[in-house]
Structure 1
């Protein structure tokens, strides 16, 4: 008979590409994970992984079986949640992925407060400007900017009216002045970062798209915000990322008559079956917090 724990170790090994990583996550020895996979392979009479000394990958049979394993584990999880009822305290592990800047400077205190309200819940926060693969990465939900047009995901709106804005520090403006038209950005150092794997150097302002450049670039959007606060140049950032800096006077919004492109924020999960009580309550909590931050 297939063991549920073996199924879990199979899915995590497939996602992480390593028995050692799966063992570390589960607080087991690598040999215990390898033994669980061998036990599962004997039960199914197939080989699930192709192993070498340097790599681990799913076989064709492993690829075919992986969705079934996920479905079984999700069904068991959902059944357990249903038995607990709506008023039962949240338990278990909730894994959330978020962009670096938003995660550090906006979400962090909110998630800390949410966890304090649910002390039996374990919260894991993964920060990266790379888009998480919800079917492979160890996350339950992701907080994402963009339209989320992918029909494979369920997108729950958090800040649908959010937009990008141009910002610079008062010190920068005092030294270099500020542009009066989008075209004048070519005379200013612009702060660049990666967006969806590409350098974000084409800024949409009103009905215009302006090619910009600058001497500073980072793969971490939070670094760009910090450079802007330090007076190193002009940044084009989500209002949610810079609203606190603007309100505190650390940054100034430039060219307000040329609004930046829409940048709606959503909570994304693979399918509605994965909207557990913890996910549902987190969504309600974050929605109420973001409603106060959206620009009027």
Structure 2
């Protein structure tokens, strides 16, 4: 940080009364010291020091600037110490739960990058689509689509604008045909997700005329989101997946988005915990990291 070093050097000049002595104290060559002083004077557009062959003294402007330089340097040092202290607190164990599809296909890779940035953080990852089980297990925070049913839980947005996407593999569409409207879904094999005993077979959509819902059916139902995605990739039918889960598939063409004039139902991704005291510095850094990664995918 040149500004930091230049201020430090100028203050050292004032303290020693010598360009050479200041350079020696800060382990600079005389040439580098002279360049630093000239750079600072050029940035301020004033002369700070009057030099002769035998002596050095501050100009009037230099005397005035010295007081501010000392205050600024102190503040910058305090800020640096605060940042370094904060970094040192980013450590410990994070017990994280994530949905199976999101976890396997995105979060695992993201955690590699996160731990490269924060090597003192240990991750204990649990992949589960069963919300009820998550909070009976030792978990600090959980990534979940939608708002928690229990109002006592804290939900922090990670991808607030994420929505479901109607999609299928090109192989399936070539074999069966592409639905031209939501009503055409009656004639297609729809791959459904199940939570507990509830099968998510009523798919909601939003368009210019408001909300509509379609009751779908198919020959495959799973309580694992990754299984539904794999069936769709294998050309077994049409899926209605959270956009994050299939973002890379859509980008590469492995899946094709259908009925794009309709928006899928909201599927916001939240980080959920029981108590805000669980939001340690490490968890907060992970939250910010995940928000950035989701934003890169357009969620």
Kindly name which structure, 1 or 2, has the bigger radius of gyration based on alpha carbons. 2
Question: Do 2:89 and 2:281's aligned partners in 1 also have CA atoms closer than 8 Å?
Answer: no
Structure 2 counterpart SS, 1:156: strand
Residue among 238, 243, 261 paired with 1:239: 243
Q: Is the 8 A contact 2:89 2:282 kept in 1?
A: no
What does residue 220 of structure 2 align with?
Answer: 216
Q: How far apart, CA to CA, are the structure 1 residues paired with 2:267 and 2:292?
A: 18
CA-to-aligned-CA distance 1:241-261 (integer Å, 9 cap, x gap): 001001001000000112110
DSSP 3-state at the match of 2:96? strand
1:210-249 CA-to-partner distances (Å, cap 9, x unmatched) read 1111111222110111111111100000010001001001
Question: Please, which runs of 5 or more residues in structure 1 have no aligned partner?
Answer: 1-83
Indicate the residue corresponding to 1:50 in structure 2.
none
For residues 197 and 102 of structure 1, the distance between their equivalents in structure 2, rounded to whole angstroms, comes to: 22
Q: 1:6-25, aligned counterparts within 5 Å?
A: none
Q: 1:133 to 1:272 in 2, by over 3 A?
A: farther
- Which residue does 1:292 correspond to in 2? 296
Partner deviation per Cα, 1:153-201 (whole Å, 9 max, x = no partner): 2111111011001001111111111111211111100111213652111
1:205 counterpart residue number: 205
Q: Indicate if the aligned counterparts of 1:97 and 1:132 stay in contact, CA closer than 8 A.
A: no
Per the TM alignment, residue 273 of structure 1 is displaced from its structure 2 partner at its CA by 1.3
In structure 2, the residue matched to 1:122 is 122
Q: How far, CA to CA, are the matches of 2:134 and 2:258 in structure 1? A: 36
Look up the match of 2:102: 102
1:91 aligns with 2:91: yes
Aligned to 1:33: none
Tell me the SS of whatever aligns to 2:250.
Answer: helix
1:141 aligns with 141
- Confirm whether residue 151 of structure 1 aligns to residue 151 of structure 2: yes
| CA drift at 1:148 | 3.2
Change (3 A) 1:285 1:132: farther
- Matches for 1:26-41 after TM superposition, within 5 Å: none
Conservation of the 8 A alpha-carbon contact between 1:131 and 1:196: no
User: What is the correspondence of 1:186-201 to structure 2 with a 5 Å cutoff?
Assistant: 186-195=186-195, 197-201=197-201
Distance 1:233 1:134 in 2: 30
Superposition deviation, residue 134 in structure 1: 5.9
Describe the shift of the 1:278–1:235 C-alpha distance in structure 2 as closer, same or farther (beyond 3 A).
Answer: same
Q: Give the TM-score normalised by the residue count of structure 2.
A: 0.67
Within the alignment, does 1:262 sit opposite 2:262 as a pair? no
Aligned-CA RMSD value = 1.7
Greater displacement, 217-226 / 86-95: 86-95
- Counterpart of 1:116 in 2: which secondary structure? helix
Q: Secondary structure at the match of 1:157?
A: strand
What SS does structure 2 have at the residue aligned with 1:284? helix
Measured against aligned partners, the alpha-carbon deviations of 1:101-146 in whole angstroms (never above 9, x if no partner) come to 0000111110121122222221111001101556531110000100
CA distance in 2, matches of 1:219, 1:134: 15
Q: Is the 8 A contact 1:162 1:239 kept in 2?
A: yes
Report the alpha carbon displacement of residue 294 of structure 1 after superposing the two structures with TM. 2.4
> 1:126, 1:172 → 2: CA distance?
32
Cα distance change of structure 1 residues 85 and 151 upon mapping to structure 2, 3 Å threshold: farther
